[in-house]
A and B are shown apart, each in its own frame.
Chain A
Amino acid sequence: MIELDHITLQVGAFRLTDVSCRIPRGSHTALMGRTGTGKTTLLEAVCGLRTVVSGHIRIDGRDVTLEPPGARGVGLVPQDGALFAHLTVRQHLAFALDVRRWPADRIAARVDELASWLRLTPLLDRLPLGLSGGEAQRVALGRALSFHPQVLCLDEPLSALDDETRAEICDVLSDIRQRTGVTLLHITHNRREAARLADYALQLRDGRIEPTSVPQT
């Protein structure tokens, strides 16, 4: 469960005040709202990339408000994937495990597992340059899932994809939830996407966050 407890965020002149909500464990929650309402700022706060002015953030009951991003157990998939241009797909999948000093055989086994699951095996020795949009997002998802995070934050990961690839990544996201039980917090503007994937929806409007009904297809 992700619990935002009366948090206030400030980015320049923009301010989100006294935001509270609970996102059930293992759910897929769509975070919706118009452009500029602070969705990405809120997601960054959950990841630990934004300092909270006041309030608390808890993940599965653990207060992570003051913890650095790398200690929170939160994976992040940005809109453009933000792949590391100098690393191969294999190195992307191994990145978080290498940082955690996993032994080489365990890293290799985990990379193989992720590559086979996300259909990345033929691409393992490729650099991000030249990967298609769908392939890049599968690499970004694999990289974020590699270290078994409790929460996966998705910042409009499907917005730059064509319809066919979008449907393919939607299938991958459903599969991720079924297999891992990770809690997904997913920023999206697309109501069809939310209807297909989410079982909860939150709306950010005028600096406040409110539960809203999941859009119906």
Chain B
Amino acid sequence: MTQPPSPTQHRPASDRPFFAALGVLGGTYILLLLATLGADTFYTSPGHLWRALQSPEIRHAVRLSLLTCTLSTLLSLWVAVPIGYLMTHLQFRGKALLDALLDIPIVLPPLVIGISLLILFQAPPLRALERVFPITYAVPSIILAQFMVACAFAVRTMRATFEQLSPRPEQVALTLGCNRSEAFWRVVLPSARRGILTAATLAWARALGEFGPILVFSGATRMKTEVLPTTVFLELSVGNLEAAVAVSLLMVAAAVTVLVLIRSYGLNQPFNRSL
């Protein structure tokens, strides 16, 4: 009969190589990210940034970007919360197909979304609408183009949020006298607050960076449909690389500020920590 080994004979190998390997793999990406940001920062100067901020066209683009991103984010949430809730709670025939449909804006090249919107608004009923309320090549087209893509990300986030919430509090609310609507507003929605903030953040950041569909559907007219990615494109196309980089840095700063503000606000809410 073989002797059982002494418990002290086996000593597991160190965990350091494992964490080092993970750190190297993950660190490569972070390094690349920081290197690109560093390259942008060192390419430009405070003077370039100041001149960019003094330009009326760029100031208009900043204002229009902030306005359209905020509106498209609100629209995205308005749609994503009900879709996320319904897709989590309802079982129906064709659900897998609908699920795939909702992901189309994520997988399609953004340019194709712009072309599709342009063709859609050539349809007679929408052309009639445009005579009263201009959309194509006007500010509403920017919001619509941003919304088409940003909403898909918000829907995905809201669905994951509702799927992760325990159904028990909602069920308890139903036994306490709520109907589905009351349980949703009083219990489910406040519990999904952190997910809503994440969806809003993602949608806003995605809308800020949207370029392809806006170029096709809204055009690139200065002081009219020019948003920050359009500015980068326009400055680049006339060879003004310094201004393009300065505007890119402005976008990075705006995106980081909003992401940090929203996330820190969301994470600081005491009840969120228990979710």
Nearest CB of A to B19, in Å: 32
Given contacts A70-B175, A100-B177, contact A128 B274 (CB under 8 A): yes
| Interface hit among B43-51, B163-171, B232-240 | B163-171
Q: Are B178 and A70 in contact (CB under 8 A)?
A: yes
Query: Is A74 an interface residue when CB atoms closer than 8 A count as contact?
Result: yes
Considering the complex, give the chain B residue whose CB is closest to the CB of A153. B175
Given contacts A76-B172, A127-B271, A129-B270, contact A85 B177 (CB under 8 A): no
Please give, as numbers and ranges, the residues of chain B lying within 8 Å of A69 by CB-CB distance.
Answer: 171, 174-175
Given contacts A84-B187, A129-B270, contact A99 B177 (CB under 8 A): yes
Please give, as numbers and ranges, the residues of chain B lying within 8 Å of A95 by CB-CB distance.
Answer: 173, 176, 186
Query: Is A143 an interface residue when CB atoms closer than 8 A count as contact?
Result: yes
Query: Is B99 an interface residue when CB atoms closer than 8 A count as contact?
Result: no
Please give, as numbers and ranges, the residues of chain B lying within 8 Å of A47 by CB-CB distance.
Answer: 171, 175
Q: Are A48 and B175 in contact (CB under 8 A)?
A: yes
What number of B residues sit within 8 Å (CB to CB) of A?
24
Please give, as numbers and ranges, the residues of chain B lying within 8 Å of A82 by CB-CB distance.
Answer: 166, 168-169, 171-172
Query: Is A36 an interface residue when CB atoms closer than 8 A count as contact?
Result: no
Q: Are A85 and B191 in contact (CB under 8 A)?
A: yes
Query: Is A83 an interface residue when CB atoms closer than 8 A count as contact?
Result: yes
Query: Is B60 an interface residue when CB atoms closer than 8 A count as contact?
Result: no
Q: Are B273 and A96 in contact (CB under 8 A)?
A: no
Q: 8 Å CB contacts to B: which residues of A77-132?
A: 78, 80, 82-86, 95-96, 99-100, 127-129
Nearest CB of B to A79, in Å: 9
Nearest CB of A to B95, in Å: 16
Q: Are B174 and A68 in contact (CB under 8 A)?
A: yes
Q: Are A99 and B176 in contact (CB under 8 A)?
A: yes
Nearest CB of B to A3, in Å: 19
Interface-centre pick from B171, B175, B182, B193 (highest chain A CB count, 10 A): B175
Please give, as numbers and ranges, the residues of chain B lying within 8 Å of A84 by CB-CB distance.
Answer: 169, 173, 186-187, 190-191
Q: 8 Å CB contacts to A: which residues of B253-275?
A: 270-275
Q: Are B169 and A83 in contact (CB under 8 A)?
A: yes
Query: Is A49 an interface residue when CB atoms closer than 8 A count as contact?
Result: yes
Query: Is A134 an interface residue when CB atoms closer than 8 A count as contact?
Result: no
Other A-B contacts than A44-B171, A99-B176, 13 sampled, CB-CB below 8 A, are A48-B175, A49-B174, A69-B171, A70-B179, A78-B168, A78-B171, A80-B168, A82-B169, A84-B173, A84-B186, A84-B187, A96-B177, A99-B178
Instruction: Please name 11 pairs of A and B residues whose Cβ atoms are closer than 8 Å in the assembled complex, sorted by A.
Output: A49-B175, A68-B179, A76-B171, A76-B175, A84-B187, A86-B190, A99-B177, A100-B177, A128-B271, A143-B172, A144-B176
